[in-house]
Amino acid sequence: MAKLLLAKPLVEKTTENLKKRCEKLKEGGITPCIKVILVGEDPASKVYTRSKKRLGEKIGADAEIVNLPDDVSVEEFTTTIAKHNSDKNVHGLMVQLPVPSQLSGVDIQSLISPEKDVDGATEHSLASIILGSKGENSLLPCTPSGIISLLKFYNIELVGKNVVIIGRSLIVGKPLAMLMTNYNATVTLCHSRTSNLMEHTQNADIIVTAIGQNSFLKACHIKEGQTIIDVGINRNSEGKLCGDVDFDAVEPIVSAITPVPGGVGPLTVLSLAQNLIETTEKNFS
């Protein structure tokens, strides 16, 4: 039976630390504040933004969801971001994706000030990873940062390990590949055009799946002793929340695995709170 890499104990431990750091900032006259811009009424986006607001408030920060209508103009959207960029009392700013089609041509991340980029998605943040940072010089993308924190918490070593990441998005796959390289892992980044995927996955010590396809990673892809990090958030035919991994088939074979729900998801939100406190301490206190 595999060890379940649960987020809860890490979230509880880190949240207490963030509360103390937030209180110290407040004693100095600064209340960390994050604005999450939500465009439209997408149900999943509303759930995600509420979870970010709840955790922000739990650590003692001000957290506000800025609701914009689904038909918001490009001008109003960019003006809203500019307003919060220039507000000295706002320390963190992010846009919840996806956005409606009329905003698809807007380079959203370039509009957000790097020091307020709590999502870790601006060019500045991504470039710092390429240059070798582990988060010392910028705010890390939330999901990759959460995965690194989880591996550290459970004492899963990256140095010298073969890591296969399936999925090449700018949110998870690409930044995570560079970040794990900075921790001296040997990383293979796979995707929909990768040939002979099983040859890569069966040679890995750690597999990360981030493709959004229910039960994609099956027993035939893996071998005994591996660590599996499942980033996927999907619904099966019964409407049940599940990941990219065929959990029931894979779990008995591997050494450690993240469940869905209860694995990577909560750590993405936790990383957002960490980034808020870190940037407030560094840039605004």
> Residues 195-215: pLDDT tens digits?
999 999 999 999 999 999 999
271: pLDDT strictly greater than 90: yes
The CATH architecture assigned to 29-113 reads: 3-Layer(aba) Sandwich (3.40)
Residue 248: its H or E element: helix 247-250
pLDDT bin (cut points 50, 70, 90) of residue 266 is very high
- Tell me the three state secondary structure of residue 200: helix
The residue annotated as part of the active site, out of 96, 109, 226, 274, is: 96
The CATH number for 141-265, chosen from 3.50.50.60, 3.40.1020.10, 3.40.50.720, 3.40.630.30, is: 3.40.50.720
What is the three-class DSSP state of 228? strand
- Cβ–Cβ contacts within 10 Å for residue 155, how many? 6
Residue 42 has pLDDT above 90, yes or no: no
Specify whether 102 is catalytic. no
**pLDDT band (50, 70, 90) for residue 237:** confident
Per-residue model confidence as pLDDT tens digits over 55-90: 999 999 999 999 999 999 999 999 999 999 999 999
What average pLDDT does range 134-159 have in this prediction? 94
Q: Outline where DSSP puts E strands in the chain.
A: 3-4, 33-39, 62-68, 92-95, 162-166, 186-190, 206-209, 227-230, 234-235, 241-242, 256-257
Q: Select which of 53, 109, 117, 119 is catalytic.
A: 119
Query: What's the pLDDT tens digit per position in 163-192?
Result: 999 999 999 999 999 999 999 999 999 998
Q: What is the pTM of this model?
A: 0.94
Rounded mean pLDDT, 122-150: 91
Q: Hey, is 235 helix, strand or coil?
A: strand
Tokens of 34: 């994050």
- Give me the amino acid identity at 66: V
Whole-number pLDDT of residue 47: 87
Round the average pLDDT of the chain to a whole number and report it.
Answer: 95
Is residue 53 annotated as part of the catalytic site, yes or no? no
Query: Could you state, in order of their start, the residue ranges of all structural domains in the chain?
Result: 29-113, 141-265
Residue with tokens 């307020």: 116
The predicted model gives 93-122 an average pLDDT of: 94
Q: Please, is 79 exposed, middle or buried when counting C-beta atoms within 10 Å of its C-beta (0-12, 13-18, 19+)?
A: exposed
Q: Which residues contact 197 (CB under 8 A, 6 or more apart)?
A: 166, 190, 221
Cα gap 269→11, rounded to integer Å: 10
- pLDDT score recorded for residue 69: 97
Instruction: Give percent above pLDDT 90 in the chain.
Output: 87
Residue 44 pLDDT grade (very low, low, confident, very high; cuts 50, 70, 90): confident
Fold agreement (29-113, 141-265):
yes
CA 85/CA 219 separation, integer angstroms:
48
Catalytic residue among 35, 52, 53, 174: 52
Asked about 244 being catalytic, the answer comes back as no
